[in-house]
């Protein structure tokens, strides 16, 4: 998928974002969805996707939102797709469902191997 064909909303809607993160890592360790700091933030969350981990990451990254704000607005306003995904976890409209989180967790546990071709 070229960058011209990339549609984040569609990736989220069809639950293809997790597979894109996994499949778009090259032999040099580059990931064409997220940079290294975002991959690390996502790793922390995927290894322990609990409300306390979510809250801790949100506070550290400055994504804490008040109850009257739309969930995800703070992270989205800062241009963070990883933040948006983490903030939306536990809502009625999550970016990653449990299957996505399990795939990502296993990928991280396995050392983020390259050359993957996972599908959903």
81-116 pLDDT, tens digit each: 999 899 889 888 899 999 999 999 999 999 999 878
3-class DSSP state for residue 24?
coil
Can you give the pTM of this predicted structure?
0.83
What integer pLDDT is reported at residue 105 of this predicted model? 97
With beta carbons less than 8 A apart as the criterion, state whether 90 and 98 touch. no
- Please compute the mean of the pLDDT values over residues 45-68 and round it to a whole number: 85
15-56 pLDDT, tens digit each: 999 999 999 887 676 778 888 899 999 999 999 999 999 989
Does residue 1 or residue 43 have the better pLDDT? 43
Q: Which residues of 25-47 are buried (b: 16+ CB within 10 A; e: fewer)?
A: beeeeebebbeeebbebbbbbbe
What integer pLDDT is reported at residue 85 of this predicted model? 93
Query: CA-to-CA distance for 19 and 11, rounded, in angstroms?
Result: 9
| DSSP annotation string for 61-116 | HT----TTSPTTHHHHHTT-HHHHHHHHTTSSS-SS-HHHHHHHHHHHHTT--SS-
pLDDT band at 4 (very low <50, low <70, confident <90, very high): very low
With beta carbons less than 8 A apart as the criterion, state whether 5 and 24 touch. no
Query: CA-to-CA distance for 32 and 20, rounded, in angstroms?
Result: 9
What integer pLDDT is reported at residue 2 of this predicted model? 45
pLDDT band at 78 (very low <50, low <70, confident <90, very high): confident
Does residue 68 or residue 41 have the better pLDDT? 41
Q: Tokens in use for 73?
A: 């607005």
Query: CA-to-CA distance for 7 and 61, rounded, in angstroms?
Result: 25
């Amino acid at each position: 998928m070229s960058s011209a064909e990339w549609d984040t909303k569609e990736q989220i809607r069809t639950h293809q974002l997790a597979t894109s993160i996994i499949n778009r890592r090259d032999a040099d360790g580059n990931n064409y969805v997220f940079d290294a700091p975002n991959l690390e933030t996502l790793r922390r969350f995927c290894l322990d996707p609990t409300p306390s981990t979510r809250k801790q990451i949100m506070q550290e990254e400055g994504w804490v939102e008040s109850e009257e704000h739309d969930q995800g607005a703070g992270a989205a306003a800062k241009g963070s797709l990883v933040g948006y995904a983490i903030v939306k976890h536990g809502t009625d409209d999550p970016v990653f469902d449990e299957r996505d989180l399990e795939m990502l967790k296993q990928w991280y546990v396995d050392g983020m191997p390259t050359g993957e071709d996972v599908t959903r």
